[in-house]
Amino acid sequence: MDRIIFHIDVNSAFLSWEAVERLRQGAEVDLRMIPSAVGGDIESRHGVILAKSIPAKKYGVTTGEPVVDALRKCPELVLVKPTRDLYSRNSRAFMEILSQYSDCIEKFSVDEAFMDMTGTRALFGEPVEAANRIKDQIYRELGFTVNVGISTNKLLAKMASDFEKPDKVHTLFPWEMERKFWPLPIRDLFFVGKATEKRLQNLGIRTIGDLARTDYEIIRKNLKKQGEFLWRYANGLDDSPVEPVRPDNKGYGNSVTVPMDITDEAEAKRILQGLTEKVCMRLRKEDVRVESVGISIRFNNLSRVSHQCSLPAATNITQEIYKIVCQLFDEKWDGTPIRLLGVSTAKVVKEGSGRQLSLFDQTDYEKLEKLDRALDNIKARFGDHAVQRAANVTTVKESDKSRSRQR
């Protein structure tokens, strides 16, 4: 039996969630119906557009561009600052509805997910019927719209969900590729950016079909590893499973999906430090240490990597674990845009276990442990943002400088 995979994507998620919330509070204007955008949070998003309405899109406003550029294109653009808690609540409610239809769901980001719907016809009808049921229930109960893409693998399901928007269900089965998929311009293929588009056009490849029909060895020779998976994508080849994230009972971990792809090393490590802080606080709260640390990275091309290593001694010291996390990240990240980052630990031992000291290690572990405990106490009383490590502040500043140079 062929697999049936859904990709569900919230239409202009942040903006839709802001619009629905305002309408519930009595607003007369629906942000989705006027030129509007979510952005301008200088501290966390550095003044970029996170989401825009369809009317704003007609002015050329794009996600990820500086707010100042968006306002030049559309001076009457209504700007709304992001509301993180609101997005988290809507994301959870969105996922709860999806869980009513399948127990195999992969949360790909805060506003999109894959569902394995294989074998559910007897429960919910044919795939298109089931997709419409899900779409309509989300709108009826939560007030926002989604697109649903249907296929036999994750790649084609995601491509299908990007067809005409909003509030649509689209199929892209292998037998539909020649008609629906191959005529699309090559820039529409998942993971083809401007630079890659130019390189492919120099080879005479202008549509997805052109790439699919080009000899594999030619593509591999010119684009190396990237060419291999782009050629596979153009031919609709993808055997990656839908991977639900299940809790690990043998360790402690934390992960986060990001609303915009991470391409900056400093920003990635800032997030990893925050995740490490939270994991280590849990370890100390429960009076345990760990002997193994790992990271997980999910890229925006559907792929995922993980990397772990054993520690020389059991620890719950943030600085010590974060140093290893950074080493693991440096060994695995190749610059591919990131959608999810995670920090995990394993081989848990009780706090009372002693540390094997080395004659060549002059680190004052007792001092570091006292520092961590003091920070934990401050955050418990005054909140997570009451105190930050200097390294984290430095990282944020470096990230800001990097973005400024890019602009």
Is 247 domain-assigned?
no
CATH number of the domain that residue 190 is part of: 1.10.150.20
Q: State which residues form the domain around 296.
A: 253-406
Could you read off the pLDDT of 129-177 as tens digits, one per residue? Answer: 999 999 999 999 999 999 999 999 999 999 999 999 899 999 999 999 9
- Residue 263 and residue 384 in one domain: yes
**Segment 367-396, tens digit of pLDDT:** 667 766 676 666 666 555 555 555 554 444
pLDDT of residue 44: 44
Map residue 78 onto helix, strand or coil.
Answer: strand
Q: Which helix (H) or strand (E) holds 406?
A: helix 390-406
Identify which of 251, 248, 350 has the alpha carbon closest to the alpha carbon of residue 310: 251
- 242 inside domain: no
What three-state secondary structure class fits 29?
A: coil
d(CA 264, CA 286): 34
The set of residues, in sequence order, having a beta carbon less than 8 Å from that of 59 and lying 6+ positions away, is: 35, 73, 74, 77
Tokens representing 45? 């998003």
Residue 193 falls inside a structural domain: yes
Do 142 and 221 share a domain, yes or no?
A: no
Q: For residues 164 and 187, state if they share a domain.
A: no
Kindly state whether residues 224 and 311 are assigned to the same domain. Answer: no
Residues 221, 263 within the same domain: no
User: 244 lies in a domain?
Assistant: no
| Virtual torsion, Cα 225, 229, 235, 236, nearest 10 deg | 170
Q: Could you write out the DSSP letters of every residue in 94-138?
A: HHHHHTTT-S-EEEEETTEEEEE-TT-HHHH-SHHHHHHHHHHHH
Please check whether residues 266 and 121 belong to one and the same domain: no
pLDDT tops 60 at residue 328: yes
* Confidence grade of residue 285 (pLDDT, cut at 50, 70, 90): confident
Q: Tell me the catalytic residues.
A: 112
Strands 169-171 and 253-262: unpaired
Question: Is 248 within a domain?
Answer: no
| Residue ending a domain, choose from 155, 173, 191 | 173
374 alpha carbon, distance to own chain's centre: 33
Number of domains present in the structure of the chain: 3
Average pLDDT over residues 304-328: 88
In a domain, 364, yes or no: yes
Which tokens is 323 given? 């140093």
State residue 114's pLDDT score. Answer: 96
Which ranges of 153-215 does DSSP label H, i.e. alpha helix?
A: 154-161, 194-202, 208-213
Given a cut of 50, whether residue 401 has pLDDT beyond it is no
Residue-averaged pLDDT of the chain: 85
Could you give the C-alpha distances from 58 to 35, 36, 73, 220, 321, in angstroms and in order?
9, 11, 10, 37, 48
| 243: in domain | no
Strands 36-39 and 49-52: antiparallel
Residues constituting the chain: 407
On whether residue 209 sits in a domain, the answer given is yes
- pLDDT of 400: 47
Same domain for 228 and 258?
Answer: no
- CATH number assigned to the domain comprising residue 164: 3.30.70.270
Contact 151, 3 (CB under 8 A): no
How many Å apart are CA 246 and CA 101, to the nearest integer? 18
* Residue 349: per-residue pLDDT: 83
- For residues 16 and 137, state if they share a domain: yes
Is the same domain home to 288 and 188? no
CA atoms lying within 13 Å on the CB side of residue 64? 6
Query: Are 295 and 318 in the same domain?
Result: yes
Same domain, 221 and 161: no
**258-284 per-position pLDDT tens digit:** 877 898 899 999 999 989 998 998 888
- pLDDT computed for residue 247 by the predictor: 47
Contact 297, 346 (CB under 8 A): no
Global pTM reads 0.70
CB 15 within 8 A of CB 22: no
Q: What is the pLDDT of residues 41-54, one digit of tens each?
A: 544 445 788 889 99
Structure-block tokens of residue 53: 């309405």
Q: Are residues 338 and 358 in the same domain?
A: yes
Q: Which of 309, 312, 293 is nearest to 361 (CA)?
A: 312
